[in-house]
Each structure stands twice: as structure tokens, then as C-alpha cells.
């Protein structure tokens, strides 16, 4: 294995004589089967030696995550620092990622202790599913509850004794520390209220807590949708016209977000079978309604997708369209998609509230509005179930609003 990766005999000998030879070779072959090129395998081989040295790994025994974190910090912030080390914190995170993947492959990573409140969350998730909520909504609701319980109710006894004052303090903390807007705070309060309503029926907590949770008032159409102008969207697309793999991939992603107004989760879950090349259609499963909506595959978007599939993605085992650029070539996360947009929007220093994928959804809607499409047509394009969701964009049609303001009422007044 190592004589295929390294040219110098002394380097081959060093890797063969290092501890955990079988574990390293099995993992490198696994990465090779997933499509890792020779350069990536060489880097991984060197990283495994560093991990073994820093963690003093033995042939057997489970490894705790806290031990990985400690070793990562020692390596990243060692003195004297390596001359190539530019970002110690990123080095620490990379050490943790690589070590966890290797130990998970070897089945040696100690599973974290299951919190006592996890059973509460699992039962609450089943209850929400029985009510017919979509998986993405259940994930968001349970995420709010999990963060609350991890801070205030680590065991069953604390949940039974919790007071409305503690809940109010948690809500106030979302404002002070997290700087949540009123809309986000309303969703947080609604999640807690729903959980405590369910908890009261199960006898997990005192009665009356859910009714006492008060959310901030959010006025209808309170916020104007915030997104870049269509000229800025063209600048973003122009920034991805290079031949680098990341530019080819990001160009296809930005087109899907801007032309169709897809949500980041919809792009993330897009699979190869959703691209109907024969009929030139894209099939998107809406997360809330869980219905499939078809869009015509425009030549520009189709060319960008083909370029990405043929030059960058190639024949990977995953069925998801957009994958990471490095082995193990996993589907992109929501945070990765946010970074794709934000890294290109941030240098423009725009005064807009959203600077992630959703901002391009706003840009798509306002562009369609400026082209003269009706609210019904825009709502259908964006997959809105409620016409009120589309009505918010009427506030950004400044030309139309100006025409209304200048309308001559004649003798009606």
C-alpha cells in the first residue's frame, strides 16, 4: 500500500514500521475504494501517524471524544508553532474530524452518554409525526426543545420542578445572547409551548406551564423580504465561471437557488433520479407539503449541471447530486450550502438581512415581480401553499407602489 503512495524508500519504511499498521492500511484502502486520489491518501497516511503520536493510541480500547478534543488542542496550539500553521482553530477542528472518522471506521469511538431527556424528545417527535408535521418541522421543533432541556433539565427530576420563571429566562436569553429576531423567537416559544402541552398530558411537569409561555407579537408582513438585486446575482454567478472544481459545483448550486428559488434543503436533497434529462425536467419534493413539483430544465441550468456531473462529481456511489469535493464525498450539509452563498456575498458588503441561500430565493421572487408576473404565478414558482407568503413581496415592488401613490383619484375625494 505505502510503496504505491510514496516514492522515497525511507518514507515507506517509516509508515510500515509505525504502530497500528493493519488499522491504517484498512482505512486507507477504504478511502481508496470511495474514490480518494493518491494525493489525498498520502495526506491521510501522514495525518494518521500524527493522530497515533498525539493520542498515544494502542491496539485496542475505546476512545472518548473528550480525549480527541484534548489531543487536537495540544496539536493545534503547540509551541513552538509550525511555520505553515495559519489558523490554529481550523487545525484543531480538522484533527477532530479526521480522528473521529478513523475511529468510527474502526468501531473504537466511545458512544456519548445518552441524556436522560432524550426519551422525552423521542416521544415528542413521535407525537408530532402522528399530527402530520413534516420531518423538517419535527427536526426544528425538537432541536429547540433539545437545546432548552440540555441547559435547564438534564434529568427527569428537574423537568418535574421547572417553573415558568426558568422558561421566561431561557426565552430572554435567546434575545440577549443569540440576538433572535421576533419571528425566530416566536418559533422558539411555539416549540416550547407545544412540548410542555405534551409534557403536561404525560405528567412530566407541572400543569399550566404551556399556557403561561408568551411569545412576542409579530405583525403581518412586518419585515420586508431582504435579498440581493438581480445585478448582484449576476455578479455572484460571474464569480463562479472558472475551471476550478469548487467554481463548477457552486455555479450549478447558485443557478438552482436563483433561477428556481429553491430552498437550501431542496437543493441539498436533490438526487440524480430527480433530473429527468429525457423530458428536460427537474423534480423537487417540497419539504412542507411533501408533494413533488416539476420545473422545466432550462438550457443554462442544464449545461451547468452536466458540466458539474461530468467534470467534478464523476461516478460517486451516492445518489445525491451535490457532494463534497474531498473523500469520502458525502452529501453537502445545510451549513455547506450556506457557506457557498455567504462566502461570495460577504465580500460585496451588502446591507441585506439574509446573506445565505434564502437571500437568493428572495432575489428570485423580486426579479419575477419586476418582470410582471402575478402574485399567483410567483407563489406557484416558489411552491407557496399560502398566498399570504407571496404577498409580502408586494412591499418590495417600489415601482408598482409608486404608481398607486400617484394614481389620480379625481373627484372621489
pLDDT of residue 359: 86
Mean pLDDT of 296-320: 91
| Sign of the C-alpha dihedral computed for residues 229, 232, 238 and 239 taken in this order | negative
Question: Among all residues, which ones are annotated catalytic?
Answer: 263, 288, 358, 361, 384, 393
pLDDT of residue 347: 84
Cell of 49: 501517524
Instruction: Indicate the average pLDDT of the chain.
Output: 84
Mean pLDDT of 326-345: 87
Distance CA 413, CA 405 (A): 14
b/e per residue 69-101 (b: at least 16 CB within 10 A): eebbbebbeeeeeeeeeeeeeebbeebbebbeb
pLDDT of residue 316: 84
Report residue 34's pLDDT band, with 50, 70 and 90 as the boundaries: confident
Enumerate residues 6+ apart whose C-beta is below 8 A from 251.
Answer: 237, 240, 241, 304, 307, 308
Each residue's pLDDT tens digit, 77-113: 888 877 777 788 888 999 999 999 999 999 988 876 6
**Which has more pLDDT, 288 or 137?**
137
Each residue's pLDDT tens digit, 200-245: 999 988 899 999 998 887 665 555 556 788 888 898 899 998 899 9
- Hey, how many other C-beta atoms are within 10 angstroms of the C-beta on 39? 9
pLDDT of residue 84: 74
Q: Has residue 397 got a pLDDT over 60?
A: no
Q: Would the pTM count as exceeding 0.75?
A: no
Answer yes or no: are the C-beta atoms of 45 and 2 closer than 8 Å: yes
Q: Which CATH number fits domain 118-212: 3.40.1390.10, 1.10.150.130, 3.30.420.130, 3.30.365.10?
A: 1.10.150.130
Among 140-144, 227-231, 273-277, 351-355, which stretch is predicted with the lowest mean pLDDT? Answer: 351-355
Mean pLDDT of 326-332: 83
Among 100-109, 333-342, 370-379, 394-403, which stretch is predicted with the lowest mean pLDDT? Answer: 394-403
Q: Has residue 114 got a pLDDT over 90?
A: no
pLDDT of residue 400: 47
Answer yes or no: are the C-beta atoms of 184 and 190 closer than 8 Å: no
Mean pLDDT of 132-146: 88
Domain residue extents for the chain: 2-105, 118-212, 230-402
Answer yes or no: are the C-beta atoms of 378 and 365 closer than 8 Å: yes
**Which has more pLDDT, 338 or 156?**
338
pLDDT of residue 399: 46
Q: How many CA atoms lie within 13 A of 71 on its CB side?
A: 21
Report residue 404's pLDDT band, with 50, 70 and 90 as the boundaries: very low
b/e per residue 325-351 (b: at least 16 CB within 10 A): eebbbebbeeebbbebbeebbeeeeee
Report residue 124's pLDDT band, with 50, 70 and 90 as the boundaries: very high
Q: Which helix (H) or strand (E) holds 263?
A: none
Enumerate residues 6+ apart whose C-beta is below 8 A from 61.
Answer: 108
What is the full DSSP assignment across 292-333?
A: EEEEE--HHHHHHHHHHIIIII-S-S--BS-B-SSTT-PBPP
pLDDT of residue 51: 93
Beta-bridge partners for 293: 284
Q: Has residue 395 got a pLDDT over 80?
A: no
Answer yes or no: are the C-beta atoms of 210 and 193 closer than 8 Å: yes
Residue whose C-alpha is closest to residue 188's, from 169, 174, 176: 174
Indicate the fold that domain 230-402 takes in CATH.
Answer: hpI Integrase; Chain A (1.10.443)
Each residue's pLDDT tens digit, 165-180: 999 998 888 888 777 7
pLDDT of residue 288: 66
Strand ranges in 257-401 using DSSP code E only, listed in sequence order: 275-276, 281-285, 292-296
**DSSP structural state of residue 286:** -
What are the percentages of helix, strand and coil residues in the chain, rounded to 5?
60, 5, 35
Amino acid at each position: 500500500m505505502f510503496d504505491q503512495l510514496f516514492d522515497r524508500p525511507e518514507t515507506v519504511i517509516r509508515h510500515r514500521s509505525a504502530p497500528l499498521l493493519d488499522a491504517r492500511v484498512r482505512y486507507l484502502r477504504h478511502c481508496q475504494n470511495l474514490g480518494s486520489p493518491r494525493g489525498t491518501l498520502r495526506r491521510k497516511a501522514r495525518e494518521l501517524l500524527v493522530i497515533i503520536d498525539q493520542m498515544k493510541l494502542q491496539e485496542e480500547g475505546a476512545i472518548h471524544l473528550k480525549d480527541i478534543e484534548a489531543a487536537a488542542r495540544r496539536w493545534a496550539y503547540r509551541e513552538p508553532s509550525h511555520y505553515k500553521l495559519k489558523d490554529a482553530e481550523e487545525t484543531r477542528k480538522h484533527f477532530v474530524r479526521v480522528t473521529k472518522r478513523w475511529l468510527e471506521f474502526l468501531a473504537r469511538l466511545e458512544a456519548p452518554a445518552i441524556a436522560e431527556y432524550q426519551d422525552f424528545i423521542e416521544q415528542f417527535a413521535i407525537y408530532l409525526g402522528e399530527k402530520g408535521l413534516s420531518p423538517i418541522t419535527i427536526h426544528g421543533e425538537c432541536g429547540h426543545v433539545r437545546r432548552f432541556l440540555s441547559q435547564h433539565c438534564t434529568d427527569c427530576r428537574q423537568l418535574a420542578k421547572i417553573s415558568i420563571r426558568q422558561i421566561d429566562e431561557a426565552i430572554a436569553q435567546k434575545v440577549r445572547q443569540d440576538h433572535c429576531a421576533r419571528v425566530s423567537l416566536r418559533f422558539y416559544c411555539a416549540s416550547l409551548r407545544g412540548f410542555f402541552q405534551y409534557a403536561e398530558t404525560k405528567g412530566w411537569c407541572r400543569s399550566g406551564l404551556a399556557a403561561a409561555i408568551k411569545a412576542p407579537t409579530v405583525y403581518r408582513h412586518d419585515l420586508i423580504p431582504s435579498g440581493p438585486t438581480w445585478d448582484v446575482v449576476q455578479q455572484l454567478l460571474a464569480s463562479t465561471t472558472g475551471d476550478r472544481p469548487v467554481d463548477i459545483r457552486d455555479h450549478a448550486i447558485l443557478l438552482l437557488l436563483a433561477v428556481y428559488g429553491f430552498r437550501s434543503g431542496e437543493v441539498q436533497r436533490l438526487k440524480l433520479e430527480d433530473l429527468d434529462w429525457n423530458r428536460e425536467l427537474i423534480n423537487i419534493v417540497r419539504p412542507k407539503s411533501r408533494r413533488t413539483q416539476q420545473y422545466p430544465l432550462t438550457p443554462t441550468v442544464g449545461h451547468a449541471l452536466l458540466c458539474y456531473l461530468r467534470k467534478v462529481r464523476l461516478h460517486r456511489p451516492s445518489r445525491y447530486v451535490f457532494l463534497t469535493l474531498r473523500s469520502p464525498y458525502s452529501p453537502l450539509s445545510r451549513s455547506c450550502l450556506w457557506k457557498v452563498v455567504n462566502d461570495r456575498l460577504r465580500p460585496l458588503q451588502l446591507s441585506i438581512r439574509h446573506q445565505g441561500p434564502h437571500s437568493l430565493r428572495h432575489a428570485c421572487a423580486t426579479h419575477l415581480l419586476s418582470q410582471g408576473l402575478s402574485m399567483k404565478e410567483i407563489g406557484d414558482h416558489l411552491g407557496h401553499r399560502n398566498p399570504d407568503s407571496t404577498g409580502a413581496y408586494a412591499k418590495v415592488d417600489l415601482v408598482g407602489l409608486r404608481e398607486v401613490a400617484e394614481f389620480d383619484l379625481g373627484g372621489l375625494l
